[in-house]
Amino acid sequence: MKFKLLTIFFFGFWIDTFSQSSKPLVLESSSIKMRWENSSQGWQLKTVSVKKGQTWTNLKTPSGENTLLFSTEKPKTTPDSVFKAITGEKFPEDIYHYQAKQWAESINPVSLNTAGTAFHFFAKNGRQTAANTLTFEHETDAAKVKTEWNFDAKFPTDIIVKQTITTKTAGYFSLATPTIAPVNEADMAWASVPGYFQGNFMQPNFALAYAYGHGVPVLPAVYRERSASTLSPLVSTKNGITISVIPDPTLCRDPWEKDKNTHQSWNIGLSHKNRKSQLSPTLYYPVLGEPKSELKAGDVVTYSFRYSLIDGDWFKAINHAAYDIFQLKEALSLRQSKQSLTDRIQKMHHYLTDPKTSLWNIEEYKGLKIGAQSYLGGVVGSNKDAMKNSDYGAMWMLANATKDTLLIKNVLPYALNFKIVQQITDEGFFKGSLAGQYYLSKPKKFTEEWGEVVEPIAVTYYTMLDIGNLLLFEPNNQPLKNLLQSGTEWLLKNQKANGSWAVAYDRKTEQEIYRDIQDVRPTFYGLLVAYRILKDPKYLAAAQKGADWFVKNAVETGGFLGVCGDARYAPDFATAQSAQALLDLYDFTKDAKYKNAAITAAKVYTASIYTHPIPNHALKTVNGNQREDWEISQAGLSFEHGGIFGSSNSQGPIQLASHAGMFIRMYQLTKEPIFADLARAGAWGRDAFVDAKTSVASYYWQAMNRGAGPYPHHAWWQIGWINDYLMAEAELRSNGQVKFPRGFVTPKVGPHQAYGFAAGTVNGQKANLMVNENIVKVDNPVIDYILAESEKKDKIFVILLNNRAQATDFQITVKGKTMKKQLPAVGFEVITIEK
């Protein structure tokens, strides 16, 4: 017995001696070297080296410090902090009630990273426990913490870390990922919590940084999963290294766990800073105060994550997380459409020609009969009498392609009148600007979404873009040209000396408002429209002046503004619109700076698209119907607006994939796979969100398949983006053999563009677009098609697209003749029919 006790004593003495040894502990891969040294404080990281090319670069301030958060009571959920706008005014103002709850949640002690007691420590015990695996252990008053480090055999840039906490007392616990090497703010090239912000400078005004992402927040805020696009907080250094931290995907919240919406669940906290406010990408698990953080004495919690230290920029890091960890490519292969996109356009055509289903209204205003669809969303002053039109380019395209008299006689004339009276014609400061995007039929007036304001971006949208698209179809319509000219001159008059515009003006006082934010939106695009239609070189010069300011103040800094007044202009799909606007400007100027800026803006927009959780075949129950997880997955869907203020926090992403066509064009330009894959992930197999009766998709994810709901005008936008996507795919897959002229981007919701105003080419022959559901029948819904008729009217071209990641066998019937066909994955073919 004495011998046995003596053996145990010496064994314990050996471990303790080893853990306190001065011998360094080392982890090495082909890409990273890490060395810990023991000291009186514990085991500290003394060297972190990253391979750049053929040389090794040391991170400047290696650390290895650990943090454990603990609270004996559940942290309060109400805020105890107040923040002001950069102008000194209360933020946000009381009228923004949609944002009030989200802002309060986002500035409570847990979100601001002030809740609980923080135990900061370097592990007292450390040892090598296996080949290239290190284990560190430490004990605080509240818990024991064990941390195991090793490299991912597949990705030598990634260190996989597993942490285990064993509690010593009851309470609320949260482990922070250890700090590898905080980045000095002067060395920061870029920082991001994707979906919330990205930027290249520290913004001292917290409201501006936190709500808008106009600069990197100085506080170590902890962000929620619900608006995080890719779960990978990151910091890039000026010497070209990006440090990111990525949770094990199994830890992520599932927005629809079983049979109800669980979008709001918060499993993992994400931050660009650690608790000490050092610039260091950090995860928190469990989140303090959330259900999984409440533990009893003796409870054990284990979680894992990975650090990724790459020789490359933030975009390379996002790609790694999306593809290698969250399996973007594999997720895309799951997507199978049950209704073709082509069929959706055809069915929505019928929906939109029925005034009852589409909520079409005709009202008298200033002696004209004006037509628009009911808008039952939030508009200040509305008493369920708001009306709005959306995509004029899609309206005129569909009418031109179908020759449908129901559209040509019953819709277009009244929609045109609506557009004509939408412009302010009274003498004064606002002459030529927009009266408002909504019409209220009871008081008989136009208004903006959230008050009596006039926005320069609204002139670009609802005068320049809408009328510009109309003039592509009706180039000799002089009254429309006069309206376009008037809007152009108003934009020119109010362009500032530096090239920018105000966010908005008060309709009554004519004074500039929203001075706390800059108009980092593609307002300049309106002048490019003017140049293309009216041909005056001064408009192109002014557009370039505006774009130059925009590139410097938005694209280069990562700070964009949105266009939804009810969300106080939280960054949104206007970022994607900016990319197409800059690309169109490049087409006219051939100045490479606009092409490069367009690509950068498009890259930034990839961070507005969910890549988590990983879709799978698990069965879920949705409103009584059984669905596979991939059918209702958020991965591949974009925000309306994200960040702290956006609707993504409560509603999830949207089905309006306006960016899809632009992303295909970006893939064609850059060969970056993520553009094509995200475009297709948003477009393919989204049937679970489509109303079976109308083929109109719901807007917000949380609505599932409830259809248009309060937004019947969205059907036009859906026709517009689907057509733009299919046309972009046809051009890409045919190597330019199928190509049709593009019009201007649609107002507000993104970058999709109009077609059908002029002939394109199919295999070298001039042709015009057609929409006719009686010519072709395809028996497999993953096959989409586009129809075009030769200018000589002697041929019809059927442009076939296999919109899935597998080869497809199908039958196509053309004018009663059936053919068996096979297309390869993401395949393409043109069938020519002699008339």
The pLDDT tens digits for 610-637 are: 999 999 999 999 999 999 999 999 999 9
Contact 573, 600 (CB under 8 A): no
Mean per-residue pLDDT, 76-102: 92
Mean per-residue pLDDT, 49-72: 97
**What is the residue whose two structure tokens read 């991170």?**
59
Given this model, what pLDDT does residue 12 score? 32
Given this model, what pLDDT does residue 9 score? 31
CA dist list (Å): 187 to 60, 242, 244: 10, 12, 16
- Contact partners, residue 348, CB within 8 Å, separation at least 6: 694, 695, 696, 715, 718, 719
pLDDT for 554 beyond 80: yes
Q: How far apart are CA 806 and CA 263, in angstroms?
A: 31
Kind plus residue range of the DSSP H or E element containing 159: strand 158-167
pLDDT for 695 beyond 80: yes
- Contact partners, residue 8, CB within 8 Å, separation at least 6: none
Within 10 A of 518 (CB to CB), how many other CB atoms are there? 20
Percent of the chain with pLDDT over 90: 94
Compute the residue count for the chain. 835
Given this model, what pLDDT does residue 550 score? 98
Percent of the chain with pLDDT over 70: 97
Report the b/e string of 23-32 with b at 16+ CB within 10 A.
Answer: eebebebebb
pLDDT for 22 beyond 80: no
If pLDDT is split at 50, 70 and 90, which confidence band does 601 have?
A: very high
**What is the residue whose two structure tokens read 């980092």?**
520
CA angle 274, 275, 278 (to 5 degrees): 45
The pLDDT tens digits for 256-289 are: 999 999 999 999 999 999 999 999 999 999 999 9
Given this model, what pLDDT does residue 21 score? 58
Given this model, what pLDDT does residue 530 score? 98
> What SS3 class is residue 360?
strand
What DSSP designation does 432 have? T
Contact 262, 249 (CB under 8 A): no
CA atoms within 13 A on the CB side of 435: 17
pLDDT for 563 beyond 90: yes
Peptide bond preceding 613 in cis form (omega within 30 of 0): yes
Given this model, what pLDDT does residue 97 score? 85
Given this model, what pLDDT does residue 401 score? 98
Mean per-residue pLDDT, 287-315: 98
pLDDT for 4 beyond 80: no
Burial group, residue 292, by CB count within 10 angstroms (0-12, 13-18, 19+): middle
Given this model, what pLDDT does residue 474 score? 98
Mean per-residue pLDDT, 233-244: 98
pLDDT for 646 beyond 70: yes
Backbone angles phi, psi at 637, to 5 degrees: -100, 150
pLDDT for 20 beyond 70: no
Q: What is the C-alpha radius of gyration for the chain, rounded to an integer number of angstroms?
A: 29
pLDDT for 2 beyond 60: no
Number of helices (H), then strands (E), in the chain: 20, 40
Q: Which amino acid is at 82?
A: V
What DSSP designation does 589 have? H
The pLDDT tens digits for 137-195 are: 999 999 999 999 999 999 999 999 999 999 999 999 999 999 999 999 999 999 999 99
CA atoms within 13 A on the CB side of 584: 28
Which stretches of 204-320 are DSSP H helices?
206-212, 314-319
Given this model, what pLDDT does residue 449 score? 84
Within 10 A of 301 (CB to CB), how many other CB atoms are there? 18
Average pLDDT, the chain: 95
Mean per-residue pLDDT, 288-312: 98
The pLDDT tens digits for 373-420 are: 999 988 988 999 999 999 999 999 999 999 999 999 999 999 999 999
pLDDT for 454 beyond 90: yes
Q: How far apart are CA 804 and CA 335, in angstroms?
A: 7
Contact 522, 550 (CB under 8 A): yes
- DSSP codes, 724-788: HHHHHHHHHHTTTSEE----PBPSSS---B---SS-EEETTEEEEEE--TTTEEES-TTEEEEEE
pLDDT for 3 beyond 50: no
> What SS3 class is residue 20?
coil
Mean per-residue pLDDT, 520-542: 98
Contact 433, 423 (CB under 8 A): yes
Given this model, what pLDDT does residue 450 score? 81
pLDDT for 8 beyond 80: no
Q: Which amino acid is at 110?
A: V
What residues does 18 pair with on adjacent strands? none
Q: How far apart are CA 199 and CA 560, in angstroms?
A: 10
pLDDT for 15 beyond 70: no
Given this model, what pLDDT does residue 414 score? 98
